[in-house]
Amino acid sequence: MKAKGPSPISDLIATLFAACFFLVFAAGFGGAGIMLALQGLRHHDWQSVCFAAPFILIGVLAALGGIWVIRINLREGKAKAAHPDEPWMWDADWAGGQIPDHAVGGTVGTWIFAVVVNGIAIPAAVGTTHQYLHTHDPKLLLGWIFVPVGIWMLILAIRVTARTAYFGKSVFSLLTLPASPGGTLAGIIHIPQVLRPTGPVKLHLTCIETHRSGNSTSQSVVWEDEEQLDGLPPAKMGSDIPAYFTIPADVPETGHTSTSREISWKLEVKAPTAEISYLSKFKLPVFKVANPIVLPVPAPVAKLQHHETQPPAADMPGITLTRLADGRCVVQFAAGRNWGLAIWLTAMGAVLTGAFVLMVQNALPLVPEIVVALFAAILDISTLNAWLSSATITVRHHGLHIARGLPMLRRQRDVPAAGIKDIVVRFSTSLGNTTYYTLSAMTSANEVSIVSGVRGKHNADFIAAEMKQAMGMAPAVPTA
C-alpha cells in the first residue's frame, strides 16, 4: 500500500522553505550577535561580547541546520523514487532495521539550549547587579530570574550526558520490518554496557498525532501500550531488552494524514538502576501492509514479562487506594504529590511573572504585556493547583462521588453508574521522562474528568480498573 504523504513538488517546496527559514534565522541572529560583539570589542565592553556569543552560536547552528535539512531531504527523495510503495525504506535507519536511540541526539540539543540560556542569563544578571550596586534600584535584581532556569538546564544537560556516557548508544534491531496495524511490533534493544535493573524494565509504545496550524503545534496520543519485564535475558555482550507489542488493526500508520496532521510511533524504554537510571527513545516505522507480520512472544521472554497488576505503593506516591468491606473503593490524591511538575511550573511561572513586571516597569508596548500576563496567569494558576489541589474519589455500585480542588474551594460532583459506559485513561502531559494521565468517565452525554496528574500509565490503568470493579464493570483486580 502506498503511503499517503506530500507529493514530490510539495517535498521540494517544503525543503526550500525550511532551508530559507534556517538561513534567514541564521542571518538575523548571527548578524545581530556579530555586530554586538564588534561593538563590545571596540568599547572594551566584555559583558556585551559575552551577551553576543549565544546569538552567534544560534546563527551558526541555524546555518548548519539549513544545510542538514537540504541533505536529508535530497537523500529521502532518492529513496522515495527507488521505493515508492515502501515508505519504511525512505529512512536510512528504518531501511537497515537498526534504529539508533534518538535520546542521545537530544543530548546535543540540551547542551546547546543550556549554553544559550546561560549565555544570556548570566551576563544579564551580572550587568544588572553591577547597576544595582550603583543605583540601589531593587527592580534591577529581577535580572536574576532567568539564572535558575539556566542552572536547571545545565543540570539536565549533565544528567543526560552522564547517562549516555555510562550506557553507550542503544540500538533497536527490528524483527518486524515494517510493523503493521493488525500485526506485531517486535525487536531487540541492544545496550553496549551491562544493565542491572533494580526494578521492572518499562517499555512504553505510543502512537502520536501532531497537528500544526499556523504557528501553533499540538500533540495528542491516539493509542498507547506498556509492557514491563521483571528481568533481562542473557546476552553475549552488554544487555538485550526484548520488545513485543500487538498493534490493533484500527490504528493509523506512520505518515501524514493531511497537510497539517502527522502520525508518528515512538517507543520509550526506562529502567531503574543503582547508579544512573536507563532511558532510550526510538522512532519506529508502522505501516499498513497486505499481510501483517504476527510473531508470538518467545517463551523465555513471556516468563520475564511483568504480570503484577497492582503497582507497589512506592510507584504511587501521594495516592492512597482503599478497598472497603462494603464494596466501596476510596482513592485519595494528596496535594503536591507531583512535586517535580510543581517545581517546574513554579520556576516557569516565576520567570514569566518576573518578565511581566520588568515589561511594566520599563513601559513596553501594551500588547506584549497582555500576552505575557496571560501566560503568566495560566502558569501561576497551574502552580497553585499542583501544590495545593487534592482529590478524594469514592466509587460505589451506584456511581462516583468526586470531591476535588483547592482548600476551602473543593468542588463535589456525583456521576450515576447507570450513565457511565467506561472509565478511560487519557494522556495529559509529560515532563522529562515522566508521563501524566487523566482519568475520565465516559457517559452517554459527555466525558467527565475524574482526576488528573496521575503519574505513569501502569498506575492510571490500575486505578481505572479498581474503579470499574467497584462499580461492577470489570472483574476483580488481584492484589500483589
In tens, the pLDDT along 31-75 reads 777 887 787 788 777 666 666 777 777 777 777 777 777 777 777
pLDDT class of 307 with cuts at 50, 70, 90 = low
pLDDT class of 364 with cuts at 50, 70, 90 = low
pLDDT of residue 369: 77
**Across 2-6, 151-155, 278-282, which has the greatest mean pLDDT?**
278-282
pLDDT class of 358 with cuts at 50, 70, 90 = low
Least confident range of 3-17, 239-253, 281-295, 355-369: 3-17
Helix (H) or strand (E) holding 392: strand 390-396
pLDDT of residue 161: 84
- Domain borders along the chain are 8-166, 171-306, 319-470
pLDDT of residue 334: 92
**Across 114-123, 159-168, 353-362, 366-375, which has the greatest mean pLDDT?**
159-168
What's the one-letter identity of residue 472? G
pLDDT class of 172 with cuts at 50, 70, 90 = very high
In this predicted structure, the answer to whether residue 298 has a pLDDT above a threshold of 60 is yes
Q: Are 60 and 30 in contact (CB under 8 A)?
A: yes
pLDDT of residue 64: 78
Least confident range of 65-69, 398-402, 424-428, 470-474: 65-69
Q: What is the rounded radius of gyration, in angstroms, for the C-alpha atoms of the chain?
A: 26
In this predicted structure, the answer to whether residue 118 has a pLDDT above a threshold of 90 is no
**pTM for this one?**
0.65
Nearest CA to 112 among 73, 65, 148? 65
CA torsion 178-179-184-185 (nearest 10°) is 110
Q: What is the 3-state secondary structure (H, E, C) of 107-121?
A: HHHHHHHHHHHHHHH
In this predicted structure, the answer to whether residue 13 has a pLDDT above a threshold of 60 is yes
pLDDT of residue 285: 92
Least confident range of 185-189, 210-214, 407-411, 443-447: 210-214
Beta strands (DSSP E) in 200-307 are 201-213, 216-229, 239-246, 255-256, 261-271, 278-284
pLDDT class of 439 with cuts at 50, 70, 90 = very high
**Percentage above 70 pLDDT, the chain:** 85
pLDDT of residue 400: 93
Whether the bond into 178 is cis, omega within 30 of 0: yes
Least confident range of 137-146, 219-228, 375-384: 137-146
In tens, the pLDDT along 396-420 reads 988 999 999 988 888 899 999 888 9
pLDDT class of 332 with cuts at 50, 70, 90 = very high
pLDDT class of 432 with cuts at 50, 70, 90 = low
Locate 374 and state its grid cell: 496571560
Q: Tell me the β-bridge partners of 34.
A: none
- The stretch 103-132 carries a mean pLDDT of 73
pLDDT of residue 476: 46
In tens, the pLDDT along 176-203 reads 888 899 998 999 999 999 888 888 888 9
**Across 27-36, 130-139, 270-279, which has the greatest mean pLDDT?**
270-279
Task: Round to whole Å and give the CA distance between 342 and 30.
Answer: 36
Q: Which CATH class is domain 319-470?
A: mainly beta
Task: Please give the mean pLDDT across all residues of the chain.
Answer: 80
**Percentage above 90 pLDDT, the chain:** 16
Instruction: Determine the CATH number of domain 171-306.
Output: 2.60.40.640
In tens, the pLDDT along 217-269 reads 777 778 888 888 888 888 888 899 999 999 988 889 988 777 778 899 999 99
SS3 474: coil
pLDDT class of 2 with cuts at 50, 70, 90 = very low
CA torsion 69-74-75-79 (nearest 10°) is 130
What's the one-letter identity of residue 375? F
Q: Tell me the β-bridge partners of 426.
A: 438
**Across 28-37, 104-113, 168-177, which has the greatest mean pLDDT?**
168-177
